[in-house]
Amino acid sequence: MRNGIEFKVFGKYALFTDPLTKLGGEKLTYSVPSYQALKGIVEGIYWKPTLLFVIDEVRIMNPIRMESKGIRPMDYGGGNTLANYTYLKDPCYEVRAHFEFNLNRPELAHDRNEHKHHNILKRALHAGGRRDIFLGSSECQAYVEPCVFQEEPGFYDGYGDIHLGNMVHGINYPDETGRDEMEVRLWNPVMKDGIIRFIRPEECTQVRKIADMKPKLFDNNNVQAADELLSQIEAGGNS
């Protein structure tokens, strides 16, 4: 697709926190990245309010291994708290995603130039992203590079189906749904031969409201159109 992207993301550790484990101050990672975590990675590569990124599928390249560490989290009460965080070790994923125009942003209709947004997205990926990339948590630095999906061998090739149980799919924000509320989505993924094919956010049937929220307003004063941005990149010779 002209609006599609395929890339590899990897790092030393990942922490896709299961929210059920945060109640006691401990953190335990999911076995695989959530839709929302991968969407955050794509938005770290290139983000505009004009666009909605959709994660199509993720391929788990390395064996799922975990490692626990003693962490001293920030304690604003002045205490000396010690917590155990359980991370994924040596994570590596191939991701296939695409973008669509955010139709809930009619004020940004002038910025709907698919060809130029796609070119900027590919340039940003080759440069390693326009913002820092993390695997779930800010202490888990990650790196991205272009790839061809399923070109390289993966650990779970031919492995069969693995049912991963109920987990968070992602978060609904008002500028993406048109509703003045923030919601959480749940689903029951199945990994088939190392690949998880995501359902679209609107296809999730387990949705719960978290809080009331108003969308942030964008217009010509705080959004640079793709035409102008790409012209500046080409003029400066930046990747």
**DSSP H helices in the chain:** 35-45, 114-126, 174-177, 226-236
Task: Report d(CA 170, CA 41) in Å as an integer.
Answer: 13
Q: Please give the model's pTM, rounded to 2 decimal places.
A: 0.89
Per-residue pLDDT of the chain (239 residues; tens, 9 = 90+): 589 999 999 999 999 999 888 776 789 999 999 999 999 999 999 999 999 999 999 999 999 999 999 887 777 777 777 888 999 999 999 999 999 999 998 888 889 999 999 999 999 999 999 999 999 999 999 999 999 999 999 999 999 999 999 999 999 999 999 899 999 999 999 999 999 999 999 999 999 999 999 988 877 777 777 777 777 777 776 55
Strand partners for 53: 99
Q: Are 98 and 121 in contact (CB under 8 A)?
A: no
Task: Report d(CA 111, CA 115) in Å as an integer.
Answer: 11
Strand partners for 146: 7
At the topology level of CATH, where does 4-166 sit? Alpha-Beta Plaits (3.30.70)
Q: What is the pLDDT of residues 183-222, one digit of tens each?
A: 999 999 999 999 999 999 999 999 999 999 998 887 777 7
